[in-house]
Structure formats: C-alpha cells, structure tokens
Amino acid sequence: MREHLSKGLGFSKEDRDINVRRIGYVVGLVAKFEGVAVVAAISPYQAIRDELKQKIGNFIEVFLDVPLEVCESRDVKGLYAKARSGAIGQFTGVTDPYEPPLHPDVVLKTHQETLRQSVDKIILFLVNKGYLEAHQS
C-alpha cells in the first residue's frame, strides 16, 4: 500500500490519516462487490478507525496487542531504530501516540500465543458470526 497507493506520504498524523483512508477506500470497493479484504495496517488513531467502520460497515477489527519492545524486535526494516535516532519523526509508539482500539472484535497477543492459536481465534470469531461454516477436522 505504501509503495503504490500512498507513495510519498510520511508519518505525520495527517499523512497516516490519508494512508488509512486510502486503504479504507480500496477495502470499501472490495466490500461493495461482495469481496473480502484482509488488511494489516498500522492505524494508530481511533477516530479514523471509527470513520472507516461506519463507511465500510462489515468491518472486523483485529487488534495485535503486543508490547512496543516486541514490535521493535520484529522490525526487519529498521524503522524503529531510525525513529529512535531521530531520522524518522512522528513515529507510532516512539514519538507519536498509538490509541488502542476501544472494542476490537478479536485481540491477538502474538508474543504470548502461537501462530496457530492466533489464527484459531480469528477463525472462531468468523464461525461464531456466521462468516465461515464450522469445519470438523
């Protein structure tokens, strides 16, 4: 998304809002034509998430509730290090806030659970809401 849809945007609140709105626009188009979109975006502000939930409607919010130190240890692009050195300003969790979701549909603690456990939580939610049929293994 950042490479094509939002190329040239920085990490300011305004740029992040534009990025998330653009992602939401594409997701809304997919949903309009009865498609399914799965998006892994850093969306640090509650107001924008609420705005997109209203526009898209069938919106499932999955919150990866992971400590900042774990996020930094997983950062293959070195963005946290750049933010800590001052090379990147207004960086979520370092010099800019992250507003945790108030009522996420699914909460994943990927530093405490296995990938399988996290996937199972999402699948169980989708089954319970009628998006998927229960499957016997």
Q: Report pLDDT digits (tens) over 84-108.
A: 999 988 899 999 999 999 999 999 9
Q: Tens digits of per-residue pLDDT, 8-50?
A: 888 888 999 999 999 999 999 999 998 999 998 889 999 999 9
Structure tokens at 86: 């001052």
What share of the chain has pLDDT > 90, as a percent?
A: 69
Please state which CATH number belongs to domain 13-128.
3.40.50.300
Residues 97, 44: Cα–Cα separation, whole Å: 7
What pLDDT does 137 receive? 59
CA distance linking residue 19 with residue 9, whole number of Å:
7
- Report the alpha-carbon distance of residue 91 to residue 13 in Å, rounded: 9
Give, as one character, the DSSP assignment of residue 92: B
- Supply the pTM of this predicted model: 0.84
What value does the mean pLDDT of the chain take?
92
Give the residue numbers annotated as catalytic, written as ranges: 43
Q: How far apart are CA 62 and CA 131, in angstroms?
A: 15
